[in-house]
Amino acid sequence: MRGVFLALLIAAGIAATIATPAKAENYPFCLTGAVNGGSFDCGYTTLQQCQARASGLAAYCIESPFLSREPKPSQQPARRRHPGY
């Protein structure tokens, strides 16, 4: 009985270590600087939220370099085609 328990415990430990981590959210703003060794902490939804965290620290906020930037659609309305005159 002890062998079965030990085998289940080992199997659970292995499963826990190889489990796929949850998908991280892609937040638009990152905290970086000397406070975190130059790495990025991209967990902020607004610039103001990031700046509040950076306040008083040797850090600053940037737009996330990890998000793909979709090209903005043209602001001009589409031209209408008129039937031939």
22-72: per-residue pLDDT in tens? Answer: 344 689 999 999 877 888 999 999 999 999 999 999 999 999 998 876 666
Residue position matching structure tokens 């906020």? 61
Alpha carbons 46 and 56: distance in angstroms, whole number: 18
> Mean of the pLDDT values across residues 75-82?
67
Predicted TM-score (pTM) of the model is: 0.52
pLDDT at 21: 40
Q: Which residue has the higher pLDDT, 46 or 77?
A: 46
Alpha carbons 54 and 51: distance in angstroms, whole number: 5
Q: In the predicted model, is pLDDT for residue 13 greater than 60? A: no
In degrees and rounded to multiples of 5, residue 11 shows phi and psi of -60, -40
Q: In the predicted model, is pLDDT for residue 19 greater than 50? A: no
Q: Tell me the one-letter amino acid at 7.
A: A
Alpha carbons 55 and 49: distance in angstroms, whole number: 10
